[in-house]
Amino acid sequence: MRLVSFGPAGAETPAVLVDEERLMPVAPILASHGLRANDWSELLGIWPAVEPVLREAIARGSESTILRSSVRLGPPVARPATVIAIGFNYSTHGADVLGAPPPVGEPIVFLKPVTALSGPEDPIVLPPETSQLDYEIELAVVIGRGGRRIASADVAQHIAGYMVANDVSARDVAFGPGIEHPLLFQIARAKGFPTFCPTGPWLLTADEVPDASSLGMRLSVNGEVRQRATTAQMTVGVADLIASVSATMELRPGDILLTGTPPGCGFQQDPPSYLRHGDAIEATIDRLGVMRTPVNAESVPELRV
């Protein structure tokens, strides 16, 4: 099942894709069964009750639908509790940043603010604080059943599904004084601007992705392929990532886990090639759809003295 959210930014409502052209809002369907449908993060927590109702409605085909082209698609999970990200999970990407392959051990974990989330066709806004705006295609895993200290062997019971993500980063903001001292890195600031986490176009439920360890992924800028890899190249696979992260923090329904990016980012080009106003990014992962996001410079009003 392909789960989406649609509507104005900040007021998205859940729906399912019936086919390539139509989506079906789920709120009226679930309301008739006494279930509220404000966001997928809530519904994924009670998925065993929600799923059969939605599958019956899709099979029945009598519910009202909306043309996909007539609405804005937002991030599939628009209001998660936490967006968790993993650094250096593809060895070549890590080596280019660190000067050597990252040490084997626990994955490197950081957080992105929920306010960085945006839809699969929303513009990425280039803020004036950076001249080194960069892209990072990533497989995003969405948590269904929450938990703490989840064993690798049990992870499948906790995954709601998968989607495409772009962990947009301002490289110059991130490094800054951190070049002299690692405690001065500005990772959260560099990756936390609004629109710096496009996700979508849909959340494909886990039952339709029997093996997430061999998905092809590709990102292009203005038609030029920059990143091409498969999830098989991850240093730490999805199951072990969730096991490791859940040892540190409680995972909740709807939480989003970004699993790392392969090589080919803008800073790895020769010469480096960062995103500019007017660029068009296309990011796709097998079976998970395509995100097409333009880059627009932020319009900052002048301060009047």
In b/e form, how buried is each residue of 244-265, taking b as 16+ CB within 10 angstroms?
Answer: bbbeeeebbbbbbbbbbbbbbb
Judge if 53 and 103 occupy the same domain: no
pLDDT in the model for residue 100: 54
52 and 93 assigned to the same domain: no
- Return the H-helix or E-strand segment holding 48: helix 47-60
In a domain, 66, yes or no: yes
Same domain, 229 and 87: yes
Type of residue at 22: R
Residues 176 and 290 in one domain: yes
User: Residue 179: what pLDDT?
Assistant: 65
Residue 75 lies in a domain: no
pLDDT score, position 302: 65
On whether both 115 and 219 belong to a single domain, the answer is: yes
Domain span at residue 283 reads: 83-297
String of b and e for 58-86 (b: at least 16 CB within 10 Å)?
beeeeeebeebeebebbbbbbbbbbbbbb
**Chosen domain end from 21, 46, 70:** 70
Q: How far apart are CA 145 and CA 251, in angstroms?
A: 8
User: Does residue 19 fall inside a structural domain?
Assistant: yes
Both 122 and 30 in one domain: the answer is no
Residue 13: inside a domain: yes
| CB count in 10 Å sphere of residue 114 | 18
pLDDT by residue for the chain (305 residues), tens only, comes to 999 999 999 999 999 999 999 999 999 999 999 998 889 999 999 999 999 999 999 998 877 999 999 999 999 999 999 999 999 999 764 455 555 555 667 899 999 999 999 999 999 999 999 999 999 999 999 999 999 999 999 999 999 999 999 999 999 999 876 667 777 789 999 999 999 999 999 999 999 998 999 999 999 999 999 999 999 999 999 999 999 999 999 999 999 999 999 999 999 999 999 999 999 999 999 999 999 999 999 987 765 54
What is the reported pLDDT for 305? 47
Question: Is residue 76 one of the residues assigned to a domain?
Answer: no
- What is the model's pLDDT at position 93? 46
pLDDT given for residue 176 in this prediction: 76
Structurally, the chain folds into a number of domains equal to: 2
Same domain for 209 and 65: no
* Ramachandran region, residue 221 (left: φ > 0; alpha: ψ -120 to 50; beta: rest): beta
Task: Please report, for the domain that includes residue 110, its CATH number.
Answer: 3.90.850.10
For residues 102 and 94, is the Cβ–Cβ distance under 8 A? yes
User: Looking at the structure, do residues 44 and 162 belong to the same domain, yes or no?
Assistant: no
Same domain, 93 and 59: no
Please say which residue of 24, 46, 70 terminates a domain.
70
Residue 65: inside a domain, yes or no? yes
Tokens representing residue 205 in the block: 């439920």
CA separation for the pair 133, 113 (Å, rounded): 18
Q: Which of 37, 70, 103 is the last residue of a domain?
A: 70
User: Is the domain of 59 the same as that of 87?
Assistant: no
Q: What is the pLDDT of residue 257?
A: 98
Q: CA-to-CA distance for 191 and 168, rounded, in angstroms?
A: 6
**Residues 66, 89: one domain?**
no
Cα–Cα distance between 143 and 43 in angstroms, integer?
11
Residue 152 has phi, psi (to 5 degrees) of -55, -40
pLDDT of residue 138: 98
Residue 24 lies in a domain: yes
Whether residue 64 is found in the same domain as residue 107: no
Is 267 part of a structural domain of the chain?
yes
